[in-house]
Structure 1
Amino acid sequence: MAPRPSLEVAVVMRRERLDNRWQPFRWVLHDVVPQQAAFGSEPRRIFTDEREERWLHPGFTVELFRDEAEGYYLNVTTPAPAWFVLWRMEEEATVAPEPIARPFLLTLSYNEAARWLDAQETVEQVPAPADVVDWMRSFADAHYVPEPRRRKRPESFKALQDRFGNPASVSTGKTRGGEGG
């Protein structure tokens, strides 16, 4: 069996200072970049100034799965195809004096990202570069098969019901009983 198509990437998270006394900073997804050997394997700070700092998280593999082809198709047919990154805050500080935001999962599938959001996870997106979009598009074109549309039955074929939901009938013939019958 052939291996699944995949890309090696790294995630850059950004800590932004806020002018807010209740929340002095926030974490946001900054970018997804191609993995390089020089990145190593551990998260590290790559930029800092008085307004922000950026952390590089190397070593992620993004694979394309046939059963997610619809999600890739939905992504490439939007005006802004994107990477979706699920991230969480550390419970305890591991590489910095205080806990940092850690990416856990990456995908290019709209459907998978929607499932993560339904599970109340933090999911953010950044634009995917053109070469990644082309790669995803060729996979979706090869594996996505739209479900056939089901023909809607005309209203005239639906069963009639009275205002109480009981079956009703319509007659165009003579009424029974009465005069002149």
Structure 2
Amino acid sequence: MSSRPFISVAVVMRREHLNNRWQPWRWSLGEVVPHEDVFGSVPRLLRQSEAEEHWLFPGFAVELFRDDVEGYHLNLSAPEPCWFVHWRMDEEPGADGHQLARPVDVSLSYHDAGRWLDAQENVDQVPAPGPVREWLQAFVTEHYQPEPKRRRRPESFRPLTDRFGNPASISTGKTRGGGGGGGAPAEGEGGHG
């Protein structure tokens, strides 16, 4: 394992029975819990009823990266900081004929979640517990440097461009009569007399 700070977690995925002929089951994230050695290394069914199943997926390392500290800061700035879990459906059904929703990655970074969502992946979230938020806050406090605010140039100092980005100019001289159409003719011009 690397020298980066990390914690080991396990993911519990929930499979809920729906009364729906098009989609009889729906998968969602149940919770993220601290990993324990007794969990082993392979997924296992924790509990099952006619209405739902809970599956445990052990052994995820959640590392903190200094170059993603802004993503952690954004998570901590949210009303409820959370875990983000990226998951995918198995391509083939298991021995029982059902496909598992298998977690792929676990993160505390808004940036990771955004990348996964941009790639149209499945991402669910659950609140992170207090000790995890404190651990993450200590890392952010040590490494986060807000970008200095850049002074915006007033709009009046921006160069004028047309809709294609080419330089444009504005004439301050007023023209009268509009040059060719509509309106009454000026005095001395060819009106009916």
- TM-score w.r.t. the length of structure 1 is 0.87
Work out the percentage of aligned pairs sharing the same amino acid: 56
Cα distance per residue 1:20-50 (max 9 Å; x no partner): 1211110000000000111011000001111
Please name the residue that 1:8 is paired with.
Answer: 8
Contact 2:159 2:167 in 1 (8 A): no
Q: Which residue of 2 aligns with 1:82?
A: 82
**What's the counterpart of residue 116 of structure 2?**
116
Match of residue 32 from structure 1: 32
Matched positions, count: 170
Tell me if 1:134 matches 2:97: no
Long gaps (5+) in structure 2: 174-193
Structure 1 gap segments, 5+ residues each: 172-181
Q: Which has the larger radius of gyration?
A: 2
- Give deviations 1:34-85, integer Å, cap 9, x for gaps: 0011101100000111110000000110000001100000001111100000
Higher RCO (CA < 8 A, seq sep 6+): 1
CA apart distance, 1:167: 2.1
Are the counterparts in 2 of residues 72 and 108 from structure 1 also a CA contact under 8 Å? yes
The one-letter code of the counterpart of 2:40 is G
Q: What does residue 73 of structure 2 align with?
A: 73
RMSD: 2.1
Closer/same/farther in 2, CA of residues 74 and 25 from structure 1, 3 Å limit: same
> What does residue 23 of structure 2 align with?
23
TM-score for both structures, normalised by structure 2: 0.81
Q: What is the Cα deviation at residue 155 of structure 1? A: 2.9
Residue 169 of structure 2 is aligned to residue 167 of structure 1: yes
